[in-house]
A and B are shown apart, each in its own frame.
Chain A
Amino acid sequence: MQTLIQLGATALQIGAVYILFSLGLTLIFGVMRIVNFVHGHIFAVAALTVAYFLPSLVEGGLSAPIAYILASLAGIVAALGLGALIYLFGFRYFQRDLVGSFILSIGLVLLLDGVLLHVFGGAVRGVPEIFPGRVSIAGAQITVQRLFLCAVALVMAATLYWTLSHTKLGKALRAVSYDHEAAMMVGVPYSRIAFLGFMIASLLAAVAGVLLAPVTIVSPVIGTDYLIKGFIAVIIGGLGSVPGAILGSLFVASIETFGSYYLDSSYATLAIFGMVIIVLLFWPKGVLGRG
């Protein structure tokens, strides 16, 4: 029982990151109908910036949490800058063009792989612990650092959900994802909404990056692993569906955690793929997918 609770808690922690990741992917797909493979690199830029600045800020005499906040802001700004750049000079021309946008994003992935490796070097970086200590919840041990991660992910997901359902921007985003032509006809400025949707998604990835930097080893290729899991989560949940992304993320995280514990981490990866095949057999558009 103790083990089960501990594993459940771990699954939730991993799931929280996947949720942030897959929400961005699903949002971009819903609004622009494109598959964004660069999402992992936006995440990586944020994580790398934190890992790059944090140690020197701490050495400069700042306390860890303050240094972390400063480095995180820098990371988020860098990631958003990159997101704006690739939207304005790339994806803007490939909206609703699945193959074209995918090819562009593969090109960007290869290019950014090279750039990140040059700028940050190939070495993995450790980040000092920001929030020391651990708490015990129902017998499961969780570090404060990871608890903080879960809380922020939860707040972000809730905020996105609230934004989509209650604000004017959210209504426009939903309208565009249902039928962008009808939305434009009733006066929704599609290109501006698409840009905002892309930036919100980039923000989600950036936040995931700065949250994850202190709890994992950061390297320029860190994004790909999360990208694969994020995509599998949205395939299972259904592309374009926000509840689907959350459901899929928790599902993938659970299989990964329990599979790694009872079998082996590489068998867990295979098990996740097996689950995708089974889901596709019954729901070719994902469990909560539409259109």
Chain B
Amino acid sequence: MDKRINPGLFVLFAGGALLVSLLLQDFYLRSVLNLMAISALLASSLRFVMLMGELNFALAAFTGIGAYCAGYLNTALGVPFGVAVLSAGLVTALASAVFGAITLRAKGPYFLLIGFAFAEAVRVAYSKFDALGGTSGMIGIFPARALDDWMPFIVMSVVVLLLLAFYIAEHSDFGRILFAIRENEDVARSVGINTYLCKVVAISGACFAAGVAGGLHAFVNSVISPGDFSYLLAAFALAYVKVGGEDHFLGPIVGAILLVALSSYALGLGGDEHFLYGGAIIVAVLLMPKGVLGTLGKLRFLGNPFKRGVDANVH
């Protein structure tokens, strides 16, 4: 809880990211940048739920719900970009609140596995709706032409805003409650905290961001299909969190930047994405249990801002 980021540093990072998104002209590099921003948002959403000690493997389902919601609103009803993405977030938050209210009675392995099963079930469900394009998915999800040149900047701004919201939430009283739930839910409940309600609120907040990320994904790629939202999406997000370091707010962001850059490079060499992410996760958990940031923190490159001694492991 003590690891606050210097506000100046935050402005510097966010400003730098926004500037890069404005200046970048190369088509391919812009797409990589978009992917990095969306991946960082997804990974931060996953980490936010991890604060309370649960792995939200339903993340893939909620990203998909957001993407399909935005896609459907845009292509079938002609809803413009901004409204479609915002609605995607709201619909996803609502869906995840219902999902959380039912499943958060279960904990640990049950919650994890049910999320995994949910993601696979929702993926099957998309292919059953003709309005959603069935197994081949939806095409032609475009923002207004005037926005086209500004897309990386818009995506980056939305992501920066939501990351800021995650940061504020984590360092608020609500964030403290989430930590308390992770350390000992029974004790938290015994002092009068409605832990169940807090968990549902936490997952809907995190999934609002996942829904927005899905909506952005739909507009950036213009094409979505059920295959985009398999459990692998959550597995990749987990890789970003783990490689970056889950103890630090910047961990998922650093992990996303590193791994997306690495995989874009590897794909250029004809490499296999799975190999890369799998290998990165294994190396990270075996050799750097606290991720890149944790390892750097040990080396005191950053003035050791990683002092908090709470063990990340639950159960």
Residues of A whose CB lies within 8 Å of any CB of B are 29, 33, 35, 90, 93-94, 96-100, 102-104, 106-115, 117-118, 228, 231-232, 235, 239, 266-267, 269-270, 272-273, 276-277, 280-281, 284-286
Contact = CB atoms under 8 A, between A and B. Distances in A.
A280 B110 contact: yes
B261 to A, nearest CB: 18
Contact of A98 (B105, B108, B235): B108
Interface residues of B, number: 44
Nearest to A86: B282
12 contacts: A98-B112, A104-B281, A106-B278, A107-B280, A110-B239, A110-B275, A111-B282, A232-B113, A235-B114, A266-B127, A269-B124, A276-B114
B228 interface: no
Interface of B: 50, 55, 102-103, 105-110, 112-114, 116-118, 120-121, 124-125, 127-128, 232, 235, 238-239, 242, 272, 274-275, 277-282, 284-286, 289, 312-315
Contacts of A99: 50, 55, 312-315
A118 B232 CA distance: 19
A239 B109 contact: yes
Interface of A is mostly: helix
A181 B214 CA distance: 45
A112 B277 CA distance: 11
B285 A104 contact: yes
Contacts of B102: 277, 280-281
B285 A280 contact: no
B228 to A, nearest CB: 16
A232 B282 contact: no
Contacts of A117: 272, 274
Contacts, number: 129
B127 A90 contact: no
Contacts of B105: 280-281, 284
Contacts of A270: 121, 124-125, 128
Nearest to B230: A224
A109 B112 contact: no
A54 to B, nearest CB: 27
Nearest to A231: B113
Contacts of B282: 90, 104, 107-108, 111
B242 A103 contact: yes
B116 A228 contact: yes
Contacts of B284: 107
Given A98-B313, A284-B110, 10 more contacts: A98-B112, A99-B50, A99-B312, A100-B289, A103-B242, A107-B282, A115-B275, A273-B120, A276-B117, A280-B110
Contacts of A97: 313, 315
A100 B272 CA distance: 24
Q: Tell which of B232, B238, B277, B282 has the most Cβ of chain A within 10 Å.
A: B282
Nearest to B108: A98
A285 B239 CA distance: 28
Contacts of B281: 103-104, 106-107, 110
A35 to B, nearest CB: 5
B113 A235 contact: yes
B112 A102 contact: yes
Nearest to A25: B113
B286 A90 contact: yes
A284 to B, nearest CB: 4
